[in-house]
């Protein structure tokens, strides 16, 4: 794998992806509690499933962050990637942090009895797809070439 030089920049991501999810939480709360509440069955088992999904999302994110730390890399997409990460959760998904954030949003909607949050998860992931995933993929393909292309044939983008 190639080493990054000190002048290299990472992917052309200009907006922090977690802010998209935070904005979706704020929007979902506004919609639910001020504008258009959606009726949603508040069965305890649905709330428990929501908590389980949130925990799974957090576990996926922390696992990905630990993998970045072990390899000495910075997870911010606009920083250079000195090597292609293909271990940890990156063996199953090329974007574990975005999958984890999406799970958290879906799970929060279920756990908090706010269907808006769960519905907005798809829109948040779609926004992040264009804001971050596509520029990251372009950067990684330019930097790592056939190694990245081969990785993409083996590992799905999301799930």
* pLDDT tens-digit map of 136-145: 999 999 999 9
CA-nearest of 149, 37, 17 to 94 is: 149
**pTM for the model:** 0.91
Q: What is the pLDDT of residue 103?
A: 98
**Residue 134: per-residue pLDDT:** 98
Spans of the chain, pLDDT less than 70: 1-7
User: Looking at residue 8, what is its pLDDT?
Assistant: 76
Cβ neighbour number for residue 120 with a 10 Å cutoff: 24
Q: What is the DSSP string of 47-82?
A: HHHHHHHHHHHHHHHHHHHHHHHHHT----TTS--S
Please report the pLDDT score of residue 1 as a whole number. 45
Predicted local distance difference test score (pLDDT) of residue 7: 52
pLDDT computed for residue 21 by the predictor: 98
- Of the candidates 134, 138, 158, the residue with the CA atom closest to the CA atom of residue 149: 138
Residue for token pair 């090329």: 94
> What is the structure's pLDDT at 3?
47
Residue 156: strand, helix, or coil? strand
CATH architecture entry for 17-154:
Up-down Bundle (1.20)
* pLDDT value of position 2: 46
């Amino acid at each position: 794998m190639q080493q990054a030089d000190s002048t290299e920049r990472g992917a052309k991501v200009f907006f922090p992806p977690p802010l998209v999810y935070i904005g979706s939480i704020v929007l979902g709360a506004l919609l639910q509690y001020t504008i258009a509440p959606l009726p949603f069955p508040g069965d305890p088992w649905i709330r428990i499933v929501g908590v389980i999904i949130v925990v799974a999302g957090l576990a996926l994110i922390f696992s990905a962050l630990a993998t970045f730390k072990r390899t000495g890399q910075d997870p911010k997409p606009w920083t250079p990637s000195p090597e292609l990460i293909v271990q940890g959760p990156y063996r199953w998904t090329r974007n574990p942090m975005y999958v984890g954030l999406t799970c958290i949003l879906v799970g929060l909607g279920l756990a908090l009895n706010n269907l808006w949050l769960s519905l907005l998860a798809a829109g948040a992931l779609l926004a992040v797809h264009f804001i971050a995933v596509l520029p990251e993929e372009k950067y990684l393909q330019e930097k790592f070439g056939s190694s990245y292309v081969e990785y993409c044939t083996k590992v799905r983008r999301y799930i």
